[in-house]
């Protein structure tokens, strides 16, 4: 596996995140923040929103091309908990037609699914012609959480590593465009995001007991990810790593790369002109007293 294509997770020495404030003390014992240096590469909110809007327009063009050419696209998102996978998935799918771009986020397998061929429940979600399917977690659960948490046996893991390269070759040979992303986040930044979820009741549901356990088994997950890359980063379906300590940059970089993976042309529908509204000469609207309205509290 070429190191050019893969950027490992940061774990050396619990490195201090760049977001932490640094103070220095003057001779009087007061503290002051050093002056901010000008960074020409700094991504401002204005720049981010403008670039995201441009990329969203390109995603619409890509979707129209996929529909026109009956392409089948699978995009896999894997990575550390709180690495920002959900955010980029939301930005990609949010501007596309949900009839042709689906997000597959499978729950824990049922007893019936556990008795099936491991890949069987994922196959049911593969795209038909003209569709894009985004997997928010995928069959790689076996190489990650199932392995680290002991939800699969050593034999099942070894069989997975034997099968998955050929399984993905079969997908590619059948005409499916397969793109795999790994979102990499440093330990300090992950901790910041976990803490933010704890403090925000609206986001607290995102923090599961499994997420907390992943912190306690950080090194185990790192080792599992390294072996997964070694055995499943193939010429037909390589892993693309997205450094995600900066969420906004990660979103733009990932979407931009996704667009570069599929050659497409602009098939944006032409501007349309709204027809005049039908006049209701013989139509009488029912009285409002006969209808039930939502109370206007705001």
Run means of pLDDT, 10 residues per run, the chain, 298 residues:
41 38 39 47 92 97 98 97 95 97 96 97 98 98 96 97 98 98 94 91 86 87 97 96 97 98 92 89 88 94
State the alpha helices, DSSP H only, in the chain.
45-68, 85-94, 111-114, 120-123, 145-148, 154-173, 187-199, 209-216, 218-232, 247-260
d(CA 82, CA 111): 28
Residue 24 pairs with which residues in a beta bridge? 32
Residue 183 pairs with which residues in a beta bridge? 79, 242
d(CA 50, CA 194): 29
How high is the pLDDT of residue 19? 40
Domain at 60-264: CATH code? 3.40.50.300
Q: Which DSSP letter does residue 137 get?
A: S
pTM of the model: 0.82
Query: Could you tell me if 105 and 136 are in contact, meaning their C-beta atoms sit under 8 angstroms apart?
Result: yes
How high is the pLDDT of residue 39? 62
Query: Could you tell me if 239 and 5 are in contact, meaning their C-beta atoms sit under 8 angstroms apart?
Result: yes
Give the Cα-Cα-Cα angle 275, 279, 280 (nearest 5 degrees). Answer: 145
Pairing mode, strands 176-184 and 131-136: unpaired
Q: Tell how far CA 270 is from the center of its chain.
A: 31
Dihedral over alpha carbons 108, 142, 211, 133 (to 10 degrees)? -70
């Amino acid at each position: 596996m070429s190191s050019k294509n893969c950027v490992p997770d940061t774990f050396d020495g619990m490195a201090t995140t760049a977001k932490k404030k640094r103070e220095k003390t003057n001779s009087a014992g007061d503290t002051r923040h050093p002056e901010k240096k000008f960074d020409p590469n700094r991504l401002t909110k204005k720049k981010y929103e403008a670039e995201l809007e441009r990329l969203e327009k390109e995603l619409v063009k890509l979707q129209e091309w996929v529909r026109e050419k009956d392409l089948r696209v699978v995009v896999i998102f894997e990575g550390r908990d709180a690495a920002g996978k959900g955010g980029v998935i939301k930005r990609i799918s949010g501007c596309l037609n949900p009839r042709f771009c689906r997000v597959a986020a499978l729950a824990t397998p049922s007893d019936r699914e556990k008795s099936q061929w491991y890949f069987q429940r994922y196959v049911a979600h593969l795209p038909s012609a003209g569709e894009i399917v985004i997997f928010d977690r995928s069959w790689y659960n076996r190489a990650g959480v199932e392995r680290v948490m002991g939800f699969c046996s050593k034999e099942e893991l070894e069989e997975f590593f034997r099968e998955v390269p050929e399984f993905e070759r079969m997908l590619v040979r059948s005409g499916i465009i397969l793109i795999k992303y790994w979102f990499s986040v440093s330990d300090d930044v992950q901790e910041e995001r976990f803490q933010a979820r704890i403090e925000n009741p609206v986001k607290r549901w995102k923090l599961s007991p499994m997420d907390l356990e992943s912190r306690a088994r950080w090194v185990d997950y790192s080792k599992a990810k390294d072996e997964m890359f070694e055995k499943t980063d193939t010429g037909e379906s390589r892993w693309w790593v997205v450094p995600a300590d900066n969420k906004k940059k990660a979103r733009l970089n990932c979407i931009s790369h996704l667009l570069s993976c599929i050659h497409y042309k602009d098939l944006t529908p032409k501007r349309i002109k709204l027809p005049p509204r039908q006049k209701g000469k013989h139509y009488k609207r029912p009285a409002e007293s006969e209808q039930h309205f939502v109370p206007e509290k705001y």
